[in-house]
Amino acid sequence: MREVIAFFFFFFNLIIPSTAGDSITLAVPLKDGQTLVSSNETFELGFFSLGNSTKRYVGIWYHKIPTQTFVWVANRDKPIVKDRGGVLRINSDGNLVIIDGGGNVVWSSKIGTNSTDSIAQIRDDGNFVLTDNTGMLAWQSFDHPTDTILPGMKFGWDFRTGLNRSMISWKSPNDPSSGDYLYYLDTHGLPQFMMRRRSDSVLTYRSGPWNGLGLSGVPQMKIYNMFHYEFVQDQTEVLLNRL
Ligand SMILES: *[C@@H]1O[C@H](CO)[C@@H](O)[C@H](O)[C@H]1NC(C)=O
Ligand SMILES: *[C@@H]1O[C@H](CO)[C@@H](O)[C@H](O)[C@H]1NC(C)=O
Ligand SMILES: *[C@@H]1O[C@H](CO)[C@@H](O)[C@H](O)[C@H]1NC(C)=O
Ligand SMILES: *[C@@H]1O[C@H](CO)[C@@H](O)[C@H](O)[C@H]1NC(C)=O
């Protein structure tokens, strides 16, 4: 009987990736090989590699879509290479950091806080949120898009915080590092969304300015209401809310 149980647990460990709930704290980091899953199991966060690459990234993908479909990558331009000893943790200075097996910080949330009882949680909307010991939002992945805007995200510029949310394409389907296409809000003159090739700065798309009803270059936006966006322009921000 004992052998049967031991075998069962051995087998179970092989097929079920180790999960660690939906959050990390200073005392409980996330090691390479473990993942966090949001409470209703929509999103999963952890280390991943693509194709034959030995590069390790921390990202968020849909938990239930069999083909890993990523919505966010933290260290896209600073992977951990040939090293499965990476850890995502809350540092003693309250920052969310990714540390390689040698103890080097490869990515940080770069916020000023000394909160040691912060908690970082993957939420059901796909947002990875760091809150400090007072429950205040300290940092969120939604403010740092990779190449995907999910419902609930804002895309554009917040004057007060200086957050300027833009997107950069992946280099290729097997390489999440910053690729050649930048999509951003241009605030010179009337605000409008633009896409530029980063290698030669050539403008490849522009939405046309907001005319109060829609973006003038994207008439289907208001006709079909296909994109569930809301444009906001006031004293504090100019951006699209993805609803
Ligand atoms: C992985 O490497 C093998 C052998 O070198 C190659 O045939 C295969 O196409 C590679 N797969 C990917 C996804 O790069
Ligand atoms: C955190 O603590 C360090 C060392 O005491 C201090 O220099 C720094 O200003 C503190 N940062 C914040 C945001 O409180
Ligand atoms: C999970 O939560 C999100 C956000 O609240 C919601 O949009 C989604 O429908 C939920 N999914 C399931 C499977 O319950
Ligand atoms: C926001 O970022 C874009 C793309 O990098 C840049 O062109 C634009 O000037 C920035 N806007 C502000 C207000 O800093």
Confidence of residue 14 (pLDDT cuts 50, 70, 90): very low
Query: Positive or negative CA dihedral for 85, 86, 89, 93?
Result: positive
How much of the chain exceeds pLDDT 70, in percent?
A: 85
- pLDDT, residue 212, reads 65
Mutate to test the pocket of ligand 1, among 49, 52, 172 (most ligand atoms within 8 A of CB): 52
Query: 1 exposed, middle or buried (CB, 10 Å; 0-12, 13-18, 19+)?
Result: exposed
Residue nearest to atom 2 of ligand 2 (CA): 114
Mean pLDDT across 170-179: 96
Length of the chain: 243
Position 18 in a domain: yes
In which band, very low, low, confident or very high, does the pLDDT at 123 lie, cut at 50, 70 and 90? very high
Q: Within 10 Å of residue 100's Cβ, how many Cβ atoms? A: 20
Domain that holds residue 65: 2-141
Tell whether the model's pLDDT for residue 226 goes beyond 80: no
132 within some domain? yes
Q: Can you give the pLDDT at residue 4?
A: 46
SS3 of residue 58 by DSSP: strand
Average pLDDT over residues 153-161: 89
CA distances from 232 to 144, 150, 238, 240 (A): 19, 17, 5, 6
Q: How far is the CA of 93 from the centre of ligand 1 (A)?
A: 41
Mean pLDDT on 18-29: 88
Is 112 a pocket residue for ligand 2 (Cβ < 6 Å)? yes
Output the pLDDT for position 52.
92
Residue 137, both tokens:
């939002």
Name the phi and psi angles at 26, rounded to 5. Answer: -55, -40
Q: What is the CATH number of the domain that holds 84?
A: 2.90.10.10
- Which residues contact residue 116 at a Cβ distance below 8 angstroms, ignoring those fewer than 6 apart? 26, 92, 94, 133
Q: Is the pLDDT of residue 224 over 50?
A: no
Whether the predicted pLDDT of 169 surpasses 70: yes
Mind listing the pLDDT tens digit for each residue in 55-98? 999 999 999 999 999 999 999 999 999 999 999 999 999 999 99
User: Measured from the CB, is residue 51 less than 6 Å from ligand 1?
Assistant: yes
Name the closest ligand to CA 39.
Answer: 3
The chain-wide mean pLDDT, for the chain, equals 87
- Ligand 4 center to residue 186 CA distance, Å? 6
Q: What is the pTM of this model?
A: 0.86
Residues 159 and 74 in one domain: no
Condensed to tens digits (0 to 9), the pLDDT of residues 192-210 reads 889 999 999 999 988 878 7
Q: Is 149 part of any domain?
A: no
In a domain, 146, yes or no: no
Task: Look at residue 8 in the predicted model and tell me its pLDDT.
Answer: 47
Q: Is residue 24 part of a domain?
A: yes
The pLDDT assigned to 111 comes to 92
Structure confidence at residue 229 (pLDDT): 73
Beta bridge partners of 131: 119, 137
Give a yes or no: residue 147 inside a domain.
Answer: no
Question: Probe ligand 4: pick from 185, 190, 203, 240, max atoms within 8 Å of CB?
Answer: 185
Give the span between the Cα atoms of 98 and 108, in whole angstroms: 7
How distant, in Å, are the alpha carbons of 60, 66, 120, 241 from that of 148? 11, 19, 21, 13
Across 124-139, average pLDDT: 94
- 194 and 86 within one domain: no
Point out the ligand 2 atom lying closest to the alpha carbon of residue 112: 13
